[in-house]
Amino acid sequence: MQSEDVFHHFSPDGRPQMVDVSEKAVTVRVAVAEADIHMSRATRDAIVHHAVAKGDVLKVAEIAGIMAAKRTSELIPLCHPVPLHHVSVRIGEQALGEDEAVFRVRAEVRTAYQTGVEMEALTAASIAALTVYDMCKKGDRGISISNVRLVFKDGGESGRYEQGASGGSVRG
């Protein structure tokens, strides 16, 4: 059940609408999202040794994530176009096993605006992970993407959110 003070993407008569944020204060807002990319050890080795024919997989994916953050409002219905002041996407090795490897995408987005940048961070992490898949799919169709999640946000009326170490959340 939603309270009356919750913002809605539907008008009282049930029509879709972009939420009116014109009365909200401009505040600094930050969001961090992550995604995990699981692949074979051989694919990981090709990535880290720059042996993938399409180029430097991690750098291309990081650029793709940044570009995606900038276009989020074109991809997500009713999402506000937000002026982004900073976007960084980093992909690093998270786990290495005998047969499998996992890379983690971490996307951070900042703005000073009337609405948050959670969707931009989540979009950046997702598209970066999909780019790794696209660049490596010829050699490893078994690549999978998991755990796309918001791990941190701060700013605005709802304040701070931080994913807890046990997968829960901490609100401040």
Catalytic site positions: 134
Torsion of CA 144, 151, 65, 28, to 10 degrees: 170
Sheet bearing 169-171, strands edge to edge = 86-96, 100-113, 27-40, 144-154, 161-163, 169-171
Structure tokens at 75: 């991809």
Token pair 């609408």: residue: 17
Nearest-angstrom CA–CA distance, 1 and 16: 19
Query: Nearest Cα to 92, choosing from 155, 131, 47?
Result: 47
Helix (H, G, I), strand (E, B) or coil at 147: strand
